[in-house]
Amino acid sequence: MTFSTTLKSALFGLSTIALTATGAMADDLADIKSAGKIVAATEMHYAPFDMLDQGEYVGFDRDLFDEIAKELGVKPVYEDLPWTSILPGLEVKKFDFVLAPVTMTSERAKRYSFTLPIADATVAFVQRKGGEMTKPADAKGMTVGVQKGTAQEKQLETYSDKIGGITIKGYGTTDEAYADLMTGRLDAVAGSAPLLNYLAKTRPDDFAVVNPPFGTPTYFGYVARKGEGDSLVAAVNDAIKKIEADGRMKTLQEKWFGAATDLPETMPEL
CATH number at residue 133: 3.40.190.10
Statement to judge: residues 48 and 107 lie in one domain: yes
Statement to judge: residues 60 and 98 lie in one domain: yes
Statement to judge: residues 104 and 140 lie in one domain: no
Q: What is the pLDDT of residue 44?
A: 95
The answer as to whether 201 is a domain residue is yes
The answer as to whether 16 is a domain residue is no
The answer as to whether 7 is a domain residue is no
Q: In whole angstroms, what is the distance from residue 90 CA to residue 177 CA?
A: 26
Q: What is the pLDDT of residue 10?
A: 42
In what side-by-side order are the strands of the sheet with 123-128? 167-171, 143-147, 188-192, 123-128, 207-210
Across the chain, what does the average pLDDT equal?
Answer: 90
Statement to judge: residues 159 and 103 lie in one domain: no
For residue 8, give the 3-state DSSP assignment: helix
Read off the pLDDT band of 25 (50, 70, 90). Answer: low
Read off the pLDDT band of 207 (50, 70, 90). Answer: very high
Domain that holds residue 113: 28-120+219-257
Statement to judge: residues 53 and 103 lie in one domain: yes
Q: What is the mean pLDDT of residues 246-264?
A: 91
Q: What is the pLDDT of residue 215?
A: 83
The answer as to whether 267 is a domain residue is no
pLDDT in tens, 81-133: 999 999 999 999 999 999 999 999 999 999 999 999 999 889 999 999 999 99
**In the predicted structure, residue 213 carries a pLDDT above the cut 80:** yes
**In the predicted structure, residue 65 carries a pLDDT above the cut 80:** yes
Q: What is the mean pLDDT of residues 9-35?
A: 61
The answer as to whether 166 is a domain residue is yes
Statement to judge: residues 249 and 189 lie in one domain: no
* Burial of residue 56 (number of CB atoms within 10 Å: 0-12, 13-18, 19+): exposed
**In the predicted structure, residue 203 carries a pLDDT above the cut 90:** yes
Statement to judge: residues 192 and 162 lie in one domain: yes
pLDDT in tens, 6-21: 444 444 444 444 433 3
Q: What is the pLDDT of residue 3?
A: 39
The answer as to whether 195 is a domain residue is yes
**In the predicted structure, residue 139 carries a pLDDT above the cut 60:** yes
Total tally of structural domains belonging to the chain: 2
Q: In whole angstroms, what is the distance from residue 87 CA to residue 91 CA?
A: 7
Statement to judge: residues 115 and 127 lie in one domain: no
Least Cα distance to 186 among 146, 152, 215 occurs for 146
